[in-house]
Amino acid sequence: MSALLVTLSGDAYARGRGQAEACPDMAGAVREAIRGRLAEGLAPDARARRFLDAQREATSRLAPEALAEIEGIADGFGLDPEEVFAFLHLGCLADLARTPADADGCSAFSSLGVVAKNRDFRPEHRALQRLFLHRDPAWGGGAVLCLGSLGAPGAFSSGINSDGLAVADTQIATADHGPGILRYFLMSRLLARCTSVEQALAEIAALPHAGGGALVLGDASGAAAAVELRHRRVDIRRGAWVAQTNHFTAAPDPLPPPSHSTARLAVLEAALAADPACDPRALLATQPLCRYAPDPSPTLAGAVWNCRDRSAWIADGPPCSTRWARCVADGRGWREVHASA
């Protein structure tokens, strides 16, 4: 865990720049991952440029801290902030062109105060994957522990805060995009500001959204919710447990989901219906939730966030073949206590 855990302290800019300061040997890999992905991406046509311009304006109003963190990341790794901003919006741009770029396969659920997720993403992010401990003086002593990638801000996959609110996302392509807060920026905002699922849902309801993807939420009371995000509609499910993969369940979308999304959701729903208290690590290790190359988005990690005691189990690789490391909350944030098979 010592190579995986990165502690970031200060305001948003300082925490962004702190990534490169903590991992200076990874600067070239971060630049290659971001610029390589941009080179593979869509040509910046007029529609894409208009969308990015509108998003930049919306982000400056809705999440200025995200822009500050991006600036810190860019300064640290020798990138232009516009490169990082565009990189984070490539999924939206691909959807707008009706050519969804990634067959992402993330699977996530929340049940009885536990939020769990298999992180399925592009293979180059395996080397960039880190567990980030964020501390910001503006949070009044609060902290955030999240799994993500060097070169990306905040909670780029899933995380928990010191109040016991946990959030995980899944990618879902949609034809319904517009100016609003990007899902990645929203996750960080919720973890920085909210203490419960209900408070997070109120925050979500008060914001315009860029559209795309879903969030799975849980808190220390055991509340659970899934939120499907489109620009013109937000759909919320509550229950003793919720599960989400890579398609909208509330209403279909013109853009098709990955072919394996329905089967993965069925596995999650069957297991949770049979036993809402089932072992989340064992569930994440089942097939077809763990995915391997040549899948374009293999499983890079598993994360289990226990909202009641603020602990975390992290598999830095596919949960079906990787040892888990455990982190527990302490006065300074979190620390690793032991590993398990």
pLDDT per residue over 275-334, tens digit each?
999 999 999 999 999 999 888 899 999 999 999 999 999 999 999 999 999 999 998 789
105 pLDDT band (50/70/90 cuts)? confident
DSSP letter for each residue of 34-57: HHHHHHHS----HHHHHHHHHHHH
Q: Among residues 338, 306, 299, which one has the least CA distance to residue 322?
A: 299
* Cβ-contact 110, 226 below 8 angstroms: yes
Choose which CATH entry (3.40.50.2000, 3.60.60.10, 3.40.50.20, 2.40.110.10) describes domain 102-340: 3.60.60.10
44 pLDDT band (50/70/90 cuts)? low
Say yes or no to pLDDT of 73 above 60. Answer: yes
338 pLDDT band (50/70/90 cuts)? low
| pTM listed for this prediction | 0.96
Q: For the segment 120-175, what is each residue's pLDDT rounded down to a tens digit?
A: 999 999 999 999 999 999 999 999 999 999 999 999 999 999 999 999 999 999 99
In the chain, alpha helices (H): 12-22, 27-40, 46-62, 64-77, 81-88, 90-96, 125-128, 183-193, 197-205, 261-274, 280-284
Domain ranges of the chain: 102-340
78 pLDDT band (50/70/90 cuts)? very high
339 pLDDT band (50/70/90 cuts)? low
- For residue 111, what is the enclosing H or E element? strand 107-111
- Supply 231's token pair: 């620009």
**129-135 and 5-9 as β-strands: parallel, antiparallel, unpaired?**
parallel
1 pLDDT band (50/70/90 cuts)? very low
